Amino acid sequence: MRIFNFDELESTSEYLKNKKDKKEWDLVIAKIQTSGRGRRGNLWVSPPGAGLFSFALKEDPNLSMEEYSKLPLVVGIALLEGLKSVVGLDYKFKWTNDIYLQDRKLSGILVEKVEDFFIIGIGININNLEFLGRSKNGVSLKKVSGDEYEILGVIKKIINSFEKYWNRYLRGEWNEILCEINQKNYLLNREIEINFLEDKIFGIGKRILKNGKLEVETVDGIKEFMVGEIHIKL
Ligand code: BTN
C-alpha cells in the first residue's frame, strides 16, 4: 500500500480521482481539506484533528454493478468495526453510510467511481472538538472518550478492517455481513422523513434488505428505498 500524506489538500478524493498512475490500495491522507466534499454535493468541513482520507479499490470486471451497489454498506460496517478496535464505543450505522455516536454524526463516507477504480473517501471526527456548518450536529472520538488518537493508526485499522470485510463479501458472506449491519442499524424503529424528488415521505425505519435497500413502514404500507436515491432527516 502506498501512502501519500499531505498537510493540506482541496480534497483527498479529488486528488486520488485525478491521480494518473494510481494503483489499488493507494491511500491519500490530508491534515486539513480546503474543499472537502460530502455526498449530494455538500461541503465536508475538514478541520485539523479529523481523519481525512481516500483510498482506491480496483474494479473487478467479474463483479456486476448490482454487486458493487453494496460496497458503501460494506465500507460502513468495516469502518464501524475498525473504529471499535480503536476504542470500544457504541457506534451505530446510519443507512446508507454514516457512523453515528450518541445520536450525532461521527463519520461520513463518499464512494465514487472513476474509470476502473472506486474511490472511497472517509471523514472521521477524531481529535477535533469543534463542529461547524452542516457538521454542527457532529461528535468526535475525543469529545466522547476524552482521549487523543494517533490519526494514521486509526486510518490503518480502518483500511485493514475494510480489506477483511471486502474479502468476506467476495467469498459470498453478504448475508452474514448484512446481519451485522442490521444489528447496528440506527434507523430501526425511528421516525424518519425521506425527501424523495419533490415529495416528503414519513415513516418508520425498518431493516436493511438483502438488496441493500431500506425498508420503511409508511401509511401506504411497507416501501423500499434505494441506496443513494433519497435523503433522510431525523
Ligand atoms: C458525507 O457524509 O456526506 C460524506 C463525507 C465524506 C468526506 C470525506 S473526507 C475525505 C474524503 N475527501 C473528500 O473530499 N470527501 C471525503
204 shares a domain with 89: no
Least-confidence region, from 6-10, 114-118, 204-208, 224-228: 224-228
196 shares a domain with 124: no
100 shares a domain with 58: yes
> Cα–Cα distance between 9 and 12 in angstroms, integer?
6
213 shares a domain with 144: no
Domain containing residue 153: CATH number = 3.30.930.10
Ligand 1 pocket at CB < 6 A: 11-13, 33, 36-39, 42, 44, 52-54, 98, 108-110, 121-123
Could you tell me the residue range of the domain that residue 170 belongs to?
3-183
126 shares a domain with 11: yes
> Cα–Cα distance between 119 and 24 in angstroms, integer?
10
Neighbours of 140 (CB within 10 A): 24
171 shares a domain with 215: no
Maximum mean pLDDT: which of 77-86, 94-103, 222-231: 77-86
Asked if the model's pLDDT at residue 201 lies above 90, the reply is: no
12 shares a domain with 80: yes
Query: Is pLDDT larger for residue 123 or for residue 40?
Result: 123
Residue to substitute in 6, 105, 122 for testing ligand 1 pocket (most ligand atoms within 8 angstroms of CB): 122
Q: Do 128 and 142 meet the contact criterion of CB atoms below 8 Å apart?
A: yes
Once rounded to an integer, what is the mean pLDDT over residues 108-116?
94
- 92 CA distance to ligand 1 middle (Å): 18
Atom of ligand 1 nearest to the CA of 12: 12
% of the chain exceeding 70 in pLDDT = 94
Atom of ligand 1 nearest to the CA of 33: 14
Confidence of residue 22 (pLDDT cuts 50, 70, 90): very high
- 221 CA distance to ligand 1 middle (Å): 34
- The pLDDT of residue 134: 66
- The pLDDT of residue 230: 53
Asked if the model's pLDDT at residue 30 lies above 90, the reply is: yes
42 shares a domain with 100: yes
Confidence of residue 43 (pLDDT cuts 50, 70, 90): confident
- 61 CA distance to ligand 1 middle (Å): 26
What's the pLDDT tens digit per position in 130-178? 877 666 789 999 999 999 999 999 999 999 999 999 999 999 999 999 9
- 44 CA distance to ligand 1 middle (Å): 6
- The pLDDT of residue 231: 55
77 shares a domain with 60: yes
- The pLDDT of residue 234: 52
Query: Is pLDDT larger for residue 23 or for residue 42?
Result: 23
> Cα–Cα distance between 207 and 213 in angstroms, integer?
9
> Cα–Cα distance between 208 and 225 in angstroms, integer?
10
Atom of ligand 1 nearest to the CA of 11: 14
208 shares a domain with 127: no
Domain containing residue 214: CATH number = 2.30.30
Confidence of residue 232 (pLDDT cuts 50, 70, 90): low
Total of domains in the chain:
2
Among the three residues 183, 204, 223, which one is the final residue of a domain in this structure?
Answer: 183
Three-state DSSP string of the chain: CCEEEEEEECCHHHHHHHCCCCCCCCEEEEEEECCCECHHHCECCCCCCCEEEEEEEECCCCCCHHHHCCHHHHHHHHHHHHHHHHCCCCEEEECCCEEEECCEEEEEEEEEEECCEEEEEEEECCCCCCCCHHHHHECCHHHHHCCCCCHHHHHHHHHHHHHHHHHHHHCCCHHHHHHHHHHCECCCCCEEEEEECCEEEEEEEEEECCCCCEEEEECCEEEEECCCCCEEEC
120 shares a domain with 41: yes
Q: Do 29 and 152 meet the contact criterion of CB atoms below 8 Å apart?
A: yes
Rounded to two decimals, what is the model's pTM?
0.93
- Whose Cα sits closest to atom 2 in ligand 1? 108
201 shares a domain with 176: no
Average pLDDT value for the chain: 92
Atom of ligand 1 nearest to the CA of 123: 9
